[in-house]
Amino acid sequence: MSNGNMGLLKKLAGQTAIYGVSSILGRMLNWLLVPLHTRIFVEADYGIVTELYSYVAFLNILYIPA
């Protein structure tokens, strides 16, 4: 493998690691906030919060940074 290809592989590995860590941290934050959410919201509000999360997830798919 040439030196140029190794540079590209290192760049790809670094970007993949950043994406993976950010995904794991986001899921961990959601998990840690569950006790707070169960204290703040009444059962009727869970559906509203879940719908909000689904909208955010869908909009994240549509969001393409420049």
pTM (predicted TM-score): 0.49
Residue type, 21: V
**pLDDT attached to residue 57:** 87
Q: How many domains does the chain have?
A: 1
Helices (H), the chain: 3-40, 46-62
pLDDT digits (tens, 9 = 90+) for 18-41: 888 888 898 899 899 889 888 988
Domain of residue 17 covers 3-62
Q: Which two tokens stand for residue 8?
A: 């590209």
